[in-house]
Structures are given as structure tokens and as C-alpha cells.
Structure 1
């Protein structure tokens, strides 16, 4: 049961607006400090009740403090989010209209990637900048991509691929679901959006698990089999950019519904890496390209 909205709630909300995205450990620390700042040693509400009281207020302005879990390790995370479909315009106010347009293009490339890889290579991301109505130079695109990573909207892997961060998935959830309903997939166990995880070895089977959901589920099972089709579950069948098992239309991986019909050649990754190196070299030699 929620209590009246008080100064402690206001302080927590102010901190949430500043942090935007934070772990549950940080959230509980903020919750305790909000009470202490008002000379209240023992909170009058549990943490869950406290959040519910704040959300009751926020719901009137289409906002919410929402919980999720890191896709890989399962760490509980929280974010202050908009609950309507115009989230990108409202959340990414520190970017220009052109930069937001670029971000949207990157989201589309990531979400519609082939074989449920949910990532885009660095070279493709840079090329996309030149396709905008108001194009962005390569050097500007590099800087912007770095900022997207620093602001925790994107993740850059060691393989040089960009994917959506947990912040992006959590804060842009409504936008993603409304825009890419036919492309997104959900974890069979927790029903949250999944862009990094594991999939059943059977092409037609729809079972998909986050890595942490998989660990938790199979820890309580006597057999490590798919809950849907009962075939042996293989952790090596992964969803996301860490998937190096490039299938050329084989049985272990299906293409995304909006993916291109042309199958990529096996040596394309090597070519892209060479192009990335060339782009970086160009930028170092001629920063005003």
C-alpha cells in the first residue's frame, strides 16, 4: 500500500532524473539517503512501496521508474522512462534532430539484423551516417558513436560491433515494440525483450532465453532440454553480436523477418574489418574529411 508523496520521494525522483539509469544497489542507496536527508532514520515504506508511491505520481505525466535486468549477468537495473511512444524525442534531448535521426537508423539496423544477431558493424554504422537527409561526416559520426556508447545507449563489443544497451532496451521499450513489433523477440521465461541470450537448436522452435534466465532455469531442472520441443539445450546457440556461428541458411539459425533476402558471404566479416581499419587510418590522416 502506498503512502502520501513526501520530500523523500521528491529527492529520490530528483536523483533518478540525474542518474536516468542505475543499478538496484544504487537505487536502494538513493532511497535510504532520501529519508536520511529528511532526518528520518527508518523509512516509512519498503523500497517497493516507495517506488510505487512515486510511480503513482509519475503515471499522470506518462512516466515511470521501471525495473529490468542486465541481459547477460542478470543484474537488476532501474531507469526513469517515458511510457508513451515518443520516447526518443523526449529522452535524447541532449542530441540534435540529425543526431537523433542517426540514432534511429542505427536502431533499425540493429533490430533488423540477420540471424538474430541484433548488432551492426562499425563500418556499416559509419556508412549509415552518409545516407541521412542531412549527412554526417565520418569524423563526426565516429565521435557521435562514441558518445552513444559513453551515454550508455549503445554497447561496442571487442569485435567492433554496436548493439543496444540495457538502458536503450529499458527506456525505449515502448518505441521499440511499437516500431519493430515483427522483429523483436521475447525471452520465453521472463517475457522481456531479448537481444543477447540463447536459442533452441531447432529452427522452428521459438524458445529464447536471456543468459541469466537460462542459468536460473536449468539450475532447477534435472535435464538440460528445451522446455518447448524437449531437444538438448546448447548454450553455444546464442542470440546477439557474440554469435560467431554464421549460418548460410542452415538449420541452426533463422533470418529476421525484415532481414535482407541475400545471404552474406563467409568472408564479409574480414572485408569489413579491413574497411574499418582503412576508415580509422583516413580519419587519423585527414580529420577534416
Structure 2
């Protein structure tokens, strides 16, 4: 996280020619194009798009400061880590929420539901405060095992389509449509000869 004013002062300190108005317009464009997003306390953070596009640069340049998520193995810049100092596990908060939810779903009986959350590597118990915070932020209600989609997680929706050949809706994953032939308009004229 960095304050926009710090970014502007850094630009000026490096003798880059940019007015405050140009800086504001650039920041607005970066925000609109999803390169940056607003962080806590009026700060600016890199958006997921920027992290994905710059992954190899970030990995090479900041090797000692970044990790891969233990659950999904993707680049992790901010996340959760085990409280055991000798354990090197790191997880995205959304991945941790799914991991904790899976652990709490071991049984459906609320009286015997799992209330401890061991680290997947060292098996040391995660702090209940960390677990509650992660589940709450990711819209998972641990009390009744209710899970709603998180803003930090990707969920693929199944599309339904209606075709001229088949007027009822079908799921694209289960029914493959007939291959389509692309015809150039000039090709139709050639058939008459």
C-alpha cells in the first residue's frame, strides 16, 4: 500500500516531468483500467490484473518478499501465514477461507463441528481470531456453514444458450453444439457456376 501523494513525490524526486493534473488523470486511468485499486487509509494497491501481468517481474525482483499460496500455488503478495515461525506456509485469504470451510464441513452436526483449524503443513492450530476474520471477510458464516460468493474468489457461471436447432435451454458444459461453418458471401456465388 502506498499513498498517492508518496507516488507523486517519488515521480518529482526522479526528475520525471508530470504535473499534478497529469498525475491525477493517470491515476484515474490506471484505476479505471484496473491496474490499481483503492486500499485502506486512502492508499493505492496493485489490482489483480497488474499482479498477473507483472508476475515474472515481481517474482524476479522481490523474490525474498513474496510467496506462492500453499493452496492454489499462485503468486501471493498479501495473505495469511502460519503463526509457527518455523512453518513456511502462506495462503491467500480467499484460499484460507475455503480451507477453513472444508475443515468445518467435516461434520454437519453443529454440536460436533470442527472448531480447531490445523495448519496444512505443521498441524499447529490457527488462531480462532484469524479464522473468524478470514471467514467473515470472505462472506462465510462459520456458525451455520453458510457460504456466499466472495469478492476475492472467482466463480465460473454456467451459461445457457438457445439455438435455432434446439429452442430449449441447454448447458454448454454438457451439450456440444453442432460445428458451425463460416461462409464468405462470395463463396455462395461460386456454387452457382
Please tell me the TM-score bracket, short chain as reference: 0.5 to 0.7
Aligned residue for 1:169? 51
Look up the SS of the partner of 1:189 in the other structure. Answer: coil
For residues 65-119 of structure 1, the C-alpha deviation after alignment (integer angstroms, 9 at most, x for no partner) is: xxxxxxxxxxxxxxxxxxxxxxxxxxxxxxxxxxxxxxxxxxxxxxxxxxxxxx2
What CA distance in whole angstroms lies between the structure 2 residues aligned with 1:236 and 1:143?
38
Does the 8 Å CA contact 1:148/1:154 hold for their aligned counterparts?
Answer: yes
Shift of the alpha carbon at 1:214? Answer: 0.8
Larger radius of gyration: 2
**Equivalent in the alignment of 1:181:** 63
Give me the whole-angstrom Cα distance separating, in 2, the residues matched to 1:129 and 1:141. Answer: 9
Equivalent residue, structure 1, for 2:77: 195
Quote the residue 2:126 is aligned against.
233
User: What is the aligned-residue RMSD (CA, Å)?
Assistant: 2.6
Q: Tell me whether 1:147 sits opposite 2:11 in the alignment.
A: no
Residue-by-residue CA offset, 1:137-169 (whole Å, 9 max, x unaligned): 333222222221111111112521111111111
Q: Normalised by the size of structure 2, how large is the TM-score?
A: 0.53
For the structure 1 residues 135 and 216, does the alpha-carbon distance in structure 2 shift closer, same or farther, using more than 3 Å as the test? same
Verify the 8 A CA contact 1:126 1:142 in the aligned structure 2. no
The alpha carbon displacement at 1:204 in A equals 4.2
State the TM-score, normalized to the length of structure 1: 0.37
Deviation at 1:208, TM superposition (A): 1.3
Q: Are 1:136 and 2:18 an aligned pair? A: yes
- Partners in 2 of 1:205 and 1:143 — Cα distance? 44
Greater relative CO, 1 or 2 (CA 8 Å, sep 6+): 1
Compared with structure 1, are the counterparts of its residues 179 and 158 closer, same or farther at alpha carbon in structure 2 (3 Å cutoff)? closer
For the structure 1 residues 147 and 203, does the alpha-carbon distance in structure 2 shift closer, same or farther, using more than 3 Å as the test?
farther
CA distance in 2, matches of 1:163, 1:226: 28
Mind listing any 5+ residue stretches in structure 1 that lack a counterpart? Answer: 1-118, 243-289
CA contact (8 A) 1:126 1:138 kept: yes
- The equivalent of 1:127 in structure 2 is 9
Q: How many residues align?
A: 121
Aligned to 1:54: none
Change (3 A) 1:124 1:217: same
The structure that is helix-richer by fraction is 1
SS, match of residue 159 in structure 1 = helix
Tell me, which stretches of 5 or more residues in structure 2 are unaligned? 104-113, 138-193
